[in-house]
């Protein structure tokens, strides 16, 4: 009996369990590449948005004017942190905030919450890449073990150790391992790269939050001093 040793032929001749392993690994590989492409494009777009926002923020435009421009829009990145801080700033003064320390604390908390949301968005679906990179090889090895067991069963059933008897099962087993590596290696490399990129973007967001917090802190102190002078007069 002749066996088709092409990749498609090996897949079609494989047992049910090995087929399920191969299909699962192929599906994981396709989803992995979809995430890689989507995240690569998204991170490039986010870096461009950060650059544009920083250019606008440091251009000398007033904070009130920039807030009016962004408050009605769906913001992300630094814009999200800026709007969260300014919204808390304005609400506090509209309600007659008197304690500069508590106001500064509320502004910092608002930016922290916005920062956490941004980081969650950056890191979404990266856990899937880590999982595929960690377990895809073992899933492929599981398929390999099943394929080799099938080969041994074929030997026992035919009372022959001829290579033609054991080769198809071994080839199926090795194909499962190869597909596991095909899924795991890109996933692991992409996870490391995208995690590093997300960390760099997160560092820029944290640096902006610290700088903006300092700017607002100085303005809070100036308003508090003005109020004290007014009260003294």
Q: Does residue 223 sit in helix, strand or coil?
A: helix
Answer whether 0.95 is exceeded by the pTM. Answer: no
Tokens of 36: 């890689």
Contact predicate 155/161, CB 8 Å = yes
User: Splitting the chain (233 residues) into consecutive groups of 10 residues, what average pLDDT does each group show?
Assistant: 63 80 94 96 95 91 88 88 90 69 86 94 94 94 86 69 66 86 95 96 95 88 69 60
Contact predicate 10/175, CB 8 Å = yes
Contact predicate 121/140, CB 8 Å = no
Q: Does residue 98 sit in helix, strand or coil?
A: coil
In eight-state DSSP terms, residue 56 is H
pLDDT of residue 75: 86
Contact predicate 13/22, CB 8 Å = no
pLDDT of residue 127: 94
Rounded CA-CA distance 173/152 in Å is 12
In eight-state DSSP terms, residue 72 is T
Closest CA to 93 of 110, 109, 111, 106: 106
Contact predicate 179/29, CB 8 Å = yes
Contact predicate 117/80, CB 8 Å = yes
How many alpha carbons lie under 13 Å from residue 69 in its C-beta half-sphere?
11
Closest CA to 152 of 174, 167, 137: 167
∠ Cα 61 63 64 (to 5°): 110
Tokens of 161: 């150790």
Q: Which residues contact 224 (CB under 8 A, 6 or more apart)?
A: 100
Rounded (10°) CA dihedral 209, 210, 216, 220:
140
Instruction: List phi, psi (to 5°) of 2.
Output: -85, 145
Q: Which residues contact 144 (CB under 8 A, 6 or more apart)?
A: 173, 174, 176, 177
């Amino acid at each position: 009996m002749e066996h088709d040793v092409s990749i498609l032929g090996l897949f079609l001749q494989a047992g049910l369990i090995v087929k399920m392993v191969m299909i699962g690994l192929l599906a994981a590989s396709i989803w992995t590449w979809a995430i890689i492409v989507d995240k690569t494009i998204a991170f490039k777009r986010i870096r461009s948005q950060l650059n544009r926002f920083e250019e606008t923020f440091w251009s000398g435009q007033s904070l009130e004017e920039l807030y009016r421009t962004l408050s009605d829009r769906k913001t992300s990145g630094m814009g999200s942190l800026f709007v969260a801080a300014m919204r808390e700033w304005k609400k506090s003064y509209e309600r007659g905030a008197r304690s500069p320390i508590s106001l500064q604390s509320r502004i910092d908390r608002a930016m922290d919450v916005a920062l956490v949301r941004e980081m969650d968005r950056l890191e979404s679906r990266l856990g899937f890449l880590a999982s595929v990179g960690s377990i895809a090889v073992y899933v492929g090895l599981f398929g390999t073990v099943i394929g080799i067991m099938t080969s041994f069963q074929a030997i026992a059933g035919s009372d022959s150790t001829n290579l033609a008897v054991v080769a198809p099962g071994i080839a199926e087993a090795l194909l499962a391992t190869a597909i596991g590596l095909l899924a795991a290696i890109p996933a692991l490399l992409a996870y490391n790269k995208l995690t590093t990129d997300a960390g760099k973007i997160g560092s820029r967001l944290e640096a902006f939050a610290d700088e903006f917090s300092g700017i607002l802190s100085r303005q809070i102190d100036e308003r508090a001093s003005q109020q004290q002078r007014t009260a003294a007069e």
